[in-house]
Structure 1
Amino acid sequence: MTYPSVISQEGSASRNLVPIIDALTPLLSSTTRSPISDHVTPPVASELSRQRNQGRRRILELGSYPYDHIVAFARRWDDIEWLGCVRDHWESSQVEERLKNIDTGENLLGPRKLDISMEEDWNRLQKDVGLASGEAFEGVIMLNLVHCVPAHLPEEVFRHLSPLISPGRRLLDGSKGWIAAYGPWLDDEGNHKSVADQEFDEKYIKAHHPDLGLRSVKSITHYAEKWGFVEEGRSEMPKGNTFVVWRVKPR
């Protein structure tokens, strides 16, 4: 189905960046590898670098336009390779043009087209990211995405990232991979948590399309569990937002 792209309100990225980085830090710091020593010889350093790149850490962000957050993440965690996704070719061209004019490291890749409602986009992403070499993503991030798509589409994220997929086609690490989502939510009974949330939902989000709107974490966890994930935790954030993590269910 078609639905409009909803761009975050102006200035929201700069306001929520620090809290999001704080929430991501425990997820990304536990498996950080040591840098190559300055004291090894060039041939040894080259071999160590090759081995490290073969086992590189990779994070995927969905709904990355206009690339504000992922640029900051790549600068903060320069030992991780970051790949962002945009919904259409217009967003992709805008991001590509922007990246020409800012200083980014080699660990930040250009955007890939991924409309989460399009099966062909998921198939293209699987082919594009080198799954044949076994380099699945360590984690996947969704910022202010869940309420900006129709209610059934978040299930597509968990379905395509599921550990139930055959190993050679998994986009996400099938043993300890995680999916994190940030944004405003309904409570688990399906009610707005505040008057501000209700106004944002009804006057801004649903004004774009009636099928969009805030969801409860509980409703998304239902999809997650169906596809092999468990809800690991929730962190309350400024302005009534919540950061949620789902992880591959232990076997």
Structure 2
Amino acid sequence: MLQKYLPAEAGQAKSQYNVLEIGSGTGQHAVYMPEHLTGLVWQPSDYDESYATSVAAWTHGMPNVKPWIRLDASASPEQWPVEASWFDCVYNCNTVHIAPIAVLDGLVPGAARCLKKGGKLVTYGPYKLNGRHTAESNADFDASLRARNPEWGIRDFEEVNQRALSSGFVLEGREDMPSNNFLCVWRKQ
């Protein structure tokens, strides 16, 4: 589904479509995406340094994956260890709900700073729509997240969209995905 929102060149080996992944975790997407879309140059990052070894092991020998970097998405955009206006895409999968709201507060303006004009901010995960869960299982999941950490929880799509609009993005699409998740894509104006 992501490929629908990327230029055709992103799938071609001679292209260089630079992607910054926020919240890479153990590195599954850092392997899968560049393997299948060979025009991607993938920059994995995470706040938790314990993931660096896993990402390095998963991506060893992959020429289109850069070395893992530590990135605190809750930091002010100027503190992100990446160049301004360098990336074509900022990709964030299953992080916004398993992180304090400060991560979302940093993610959107941070993406606005490091993306080129026309670059994409992509999030994947569960969202509430109009303040309501899309499934009972999401309500249960949200309750379990908040029980583990009161700063965590499924975010309201409209709130996230408003933050994106306020940071100079326009919504390109919101796609229904398996397990009551959404793929959301904004374009930097």
TM-score in terms of structure 1 length: 0.68
What do residues 23-43 of structure 1 show as CA deviations (whole Å, max 9, x unaligned)?
11112343448667xxxxxxx
Please, which moves more after superposition, 236-245 or 82-91?
A: 82-91
Note the C-alpha offset of 1:103. 5.4
- Does structure 1 residue 153 correspond to structure 2 residue 109? no
Counterpart position of 1:227 = 167
Is the alpha carbon distance of 1:93 and 1:178 closer, same or farther for their aligned partners in structure 2, counting shifts above 3 Å? Answer: same
1:123 aligns with one of 76, 79, 85:
79
Q: In the superposition, relative to structure 1, how do residues 34 and 181 fare at CA in structure 2: closer, same or farther (>3 Å)?
A: closer
Q: Could you report, residue by residue, the CA deviation over 1:121-161 in whole angstroms, capped at 9, with x for unpaired residues?
A: 8535125xxx6xx7x11111110111112224313112122
The 3-state SS of whatever aligns with 1:161 is helix
Q: What pairs with 1:71-110 in structure 2 (closer than 5 Å)?
A: 71-96=31-56, 98-99=57-58, 104-110=61-67
Give the distance between the partners of 1:220 and 1:229, measured in 2 at CA.
11
1:171 aligns with one of 102, 106, 114:
114
Q: How far apart are the structure 1 equivalents of 2:52 and 2:11?
A: 31
**Compared with structure 1, are the counterparts of its residues 151 and 137 closer, same or farther at alpha carbon in structure 2 (3 Å cutoff)?**
same
* Cα offset, 1:211, TM superposition: 1.1
Residue 200 of structure 1 corresponds to 141
Q: 2:124 aligns with which of 182, 193, 206?
A: 182
Q: CA deviation at 1:238?
A: 1.1
* 8 Å CA contact 1:155, 1:224 repeated in 2: no
Unaligned segments of structure 1, at least 5 residues:
1-22, 37-51, 163-169
Contact map agreement 2:74 2:102 (CA 8 A) in 1: no
Q: Secondary structure at the residue paired with 1:126? A: coil
Q: Secondary structure at the match of 2:81?
A: helix
Letter in 2 for 1:219: E
Counterpart AA for 2:24: S
Using a 3 Å threshold, how does the CA distance of structure 1 residues 124 and 232 change in structure 2: closer, same or farther?
closer
1:245 aligns with 2:188: no
- Structure 2 distance, partners of 1:70, 1:31, is 18
**SS of 1:201's equivalent?**
helix
In structure 1, give the amino acid aligned to 2:53. Answer: S
Q: Which residue of 1 aligns with 2:19?
A: 59
> Could you say if the C-alpha distance between residues 34 and 186 of structure 1 is closer, same or farther in structure 2, counting changes exceeding 3 Å?
closer
Please state whether the residue corresponding to 1:153 is helix, strand or coil: helix
Q: For residue 89 of structure 1, report the CA deviation from its aligned partner.
A: 2.1
Structure ID, larger Rg: 1
Contact 2:123 2:185 in 1 (8 A): yes
What is residue 42 of structure 1 aligned with on the other side? none
Percent of aligned pairs with the same amino acid: 25
Q: Is the partner of 2:155 in helix, strand or coil?
A: coil
Residues 161, 29 of structure 1: alpha-carbon distance in 2 compared, 3 angstrom cutoff:
closer
Pick closer, same or farther for the CA change 1:238–1:158 going to 2, 3 Å: same
Moved runs in structure 1, 4+ residues, more than 4 A? 32-36
SS at match of 2:114: coil
CA contact (8 A) 1:116 1:122 kept: no
Q: Specify every segment of 5 or more residues in structure 2 that has no aligned partner in the other structure, as ranges.
A: none
Shift of 1:107: 0.4
Counting only pairs closer than 5 Å after superposition, residues 18-29 of structure 1 correspond to structure 2 as: 23-29=1-7
Name whichever structure is richer in strand by fraction.
Answer: 2
